[in-house]
Structure 1
Amino acid sequence: MMKFLDGVKVVEIGHILMAPYATQFLGDFGADVVKVESLEGDYYRNLGLGRKRGMTAQWMSVNRNKRSISLDLKDPEARETLNALLKDADIVVHNMRVKAIERLGLGYQAVKAINPKVVYCAAIGFGQDGPYADFPAFDDIIQAYSGLAAVNGVGSGKPTFLPIAIADKVVALMLGQAMLAGLHRQRATGKGCYIETPMFEAAVTVVLNQHLNGHTFVPPEAGLGYKRVMSPYRQPAPTQDGYIVHGVYKYEHWQRFLAETGRQDVLDGPLMADQHAMANNIAGLYEIASNEILPTRTTAEWREFFDRLDIPCAPVLQMEDLEQDPHLRAVKLFEEYDHPSQGRLRRTRAPFSVRDVDVGSDRHPPEIGEHTLEVLREVGLSDEQIATLQARGVVRTFSDEEKPAARKAGW
C-alpha cells in the first residue's frame, strides 16, 4: 500500500468488477476504502474458483486494501447507519443503475444533503440523458454495443469478445481518474460534485480514438477504421516453430526489414513508393510479412534479426509462461501472502514502483462484513446499538468462530 491518499475515505457501494477494480487502486494508493455489501455479499464473491463460498479468486483479485461492512440497505435503520458513514466520506462510488440507487435513498441529491463536499461517482451502463439510460449493462453487453466485439473480429470474420472483461476494466481506469480529479477539486475548493462515468460512452471513445479516422473531418475525408490496426494480418505471425509479433511500423523499419530479407521487389514497388504509400498499403505489407517472409525462420532467429535491426519484436507468451517470466520474477509482480481465512495465496501486486512515498502493508481481501463492527464503532454507534441491529438481522458481521478450520497443508 502506497500512502499517496492517506486520510482519504472512500465508500464503495459497488459490485462485480467495474467499481471494485477502480476503488482497489485507490486502496493501493492508501485510501481507506469501505466496501458496502448486502447481507448476501457482492454477487462476484461466488463467481469463479474459490476454496470456500464467498471468496473466489476472481473476487479477491479486485478487492484488496478494503474494509467490508454488510448492511440491509432496504432497512431504514441500517440505512441511517450508512448515512453516518457517508457524512465523512470524501468519495462515494457506485455501479448500480441510477433508479435502483435512488430507490435505496442513496442517489446524488440524497447523499449531497448529508455531505455537501462529497465527490459522488456514478459508474453506470449508459448516460442518463439518452434513450438507453435504463438499459442493464455488463462487459459483454458493452463489448457488443460499443463496436469492440465487431472490430475484434476483423481477423476471424465474425464478432468476437476479448476473453477478458476489457470494457469493465478500461472503464474502471477512467472511473479512477474521475474520482481523483474530483478529489483534487474538493481539496482545492472544499466543494463536492457529481461525476457520471457511463460504460457505453467510455468504451465508444476507446474504440473510436483511432477508428474515427476519416470521419474526424467534416465532411468525411475517408471511412471509419485506422488501416494499420484494422488489417487482418496485424496478428502474431507464424514462424517455423511458433509465433512472433513484430514492430515493423515506421517507414524506415519497413525499409530495413525488406532490404535485409531480400525483398527488394517490394521495397522498389508501389507499396513502398514513399511514406504515404506505405501507410495506405499497410495491409498489403502486413500480408507479405506474415504469409511470405516470417514463416521462413524460427522465432529465435527472428528475435536475433529484429534486435540487430533495432526493430521491436516479441514472442507470444502463454498465460502459463507468465509466472516464470524472468522479468516479472525480477520485479516481483507475483507475491504470496497469508490470508487469515483462505491460507496461502498468490496475487499480482499493484503494478507501480514508488520512491520517496511512505508505504505500508496491504489489507487482505475481506470476508463479508469482516469490518462491520469496527466501522460502526468508528461512526459512533454504541455496542448496544450495534447489538440491536444484529438482533434485527439487518447487519452482518464476521467473527473468528466463522473462519474455516485451518488445513495443515499450505497454511
Structure 2
Amino acid sequence: MAKKFLYLVATIIVLILAGALALTLFSAEITRFVMVPDSEFTPQEPLERNAYEDPSLWYSRPGIGTSDPARWQPAYAPETAVPSGVSEDAKARVVSTTDQPDFAVFFVHPTSYRSTANWNAPLGETDDPDAAEADKFARIFLRGMASPFNAASEIWAPRYRQATMGAFLTNGPEGGQALDAAYADVREAFRYFLDSVGEETPIVLAGHSQGALHLMRLLAEEVQGSPAAGRLVAAYVIGWPISLEHDLPAMGVPACATANQTGCVLSWSSFAAPADPSAVLETYAASTGLDGEVRGTSEILCTNPITGRIGGSAPANRNLGTLKPDESLADGELVPGAVPATCEDRGLLMIGPPPEMGALVLPGNNYHVYDIPLFWANTKVDAARRVQAFAGESAGGDTAN
C-alpha cells in the first residue's frame, strides 16, 4: 500500500499538538487522564559520549543513501508553474539539490511518541509497539519537514529519547524532567554532529514542535559563545513560539531581519482566517521563557516565510510552492501561489482564507500541522539564499540587500 505520508503527518501532529499547544480538543482533565503517564518519572541513563557514532541512532546522516527520508524531493503539480515575477535563480533552487556551497543541517523531529507507559521513548531495539509507531512517524515527519533542506551536502537527524506527548499536558515535575532527558540526547547528538562535519563547514539548525524547543536550548547552551556560533547560517525554529523579550536574548542570536542575514533565527506559527488563537496565546502567556521569567504578553517572533524577514505581508503569488496531498493521499506535490503570509500584531502568521490542505486542521483555524509544508519551496530557497550569503561573507563579499 502506498504510504499516505501527508495524511499521517497531519493526523499524528494533530494528536500531539491538540493538547501540547492549548488543550483545544478536550478539557484539561480528560486530556491529562488519557495522555499523561500515571507512573513516576524514571531518570534516563546518560548516553555514552561516543553513542552517536552508531549509525543506527540516526534517521538521516551521510551514507544512508536513497532510504534517507530527508532527501526526498517533491515535484510540482502537473500544469502548474512557479508564479511570474520570481527570479529564475529562485525557480531553479526549488527543484535543484546541487550547485550549492557545502553546508550541513542538523534537524530535530517533532514528537512522535504518544505512549502513556513511559515519559520518554525508548532508544534502540525494542518490542514496544508504541516505540515502533513513533519510529515510523518520525521518518514521515522528516520526509515532509526536513526535505526543504535537501540541497545540503549533509543532513543529520538523530533519534532521541523524546518526551511523550503527555509531558506537555501536565504541570507536574515529570513533564519537565522528560523534556530535560530528551534534550540531553539531542545535545549529545549535536556535539557529535559538530565533530563529524568538521570545523569549517557552515551549519543550519532546524526543527519543529518539540524539536524546535530543543533547538532553543541548544542555541542558548551549546552555540552561544562557542565556535559553532561563527558557523551558523540560520536556525529554523518552527512551531514553537519565541518570546522576543524572554527567549531571544538568552539564545544569543538575533531574529532574521532581512532575507540575506546569517547567524540568525526564523520562527512562525500559522493560522487561517478567521483565527481564534486564544487558547494558544493563553498557554504561551503562562509558560516560562529561557530567562526563567513568565512570558506573559511579551511579543512573539514572527518571520514571514515568503519574504524571509521579520513581520510584513506577502501575496500568494510569491509563494513558490506549498506541499499538498493529492486526492489519493498517497504522496505530495508542490502547488505555487496557494497561500499568502502576513505577520499580525500578536506575532502569529496569517495565511488568509483556509486553504484546502485536508480536514485535519486544529480548532481556531490553527494550521500548525502545516507550518513547514505551507511554505516548503520558499523555505528551501531561503536556506539556499542564506548559505550563498554566508559564503559571500566568508569570502569577504558584499551580501547586503
For the aligned pair, the TM-score class normalised by the smaller chain equals under 0.3
Tell me the TM-score normalized by structure 2. 0.27
Structure with bigger helix share is 1
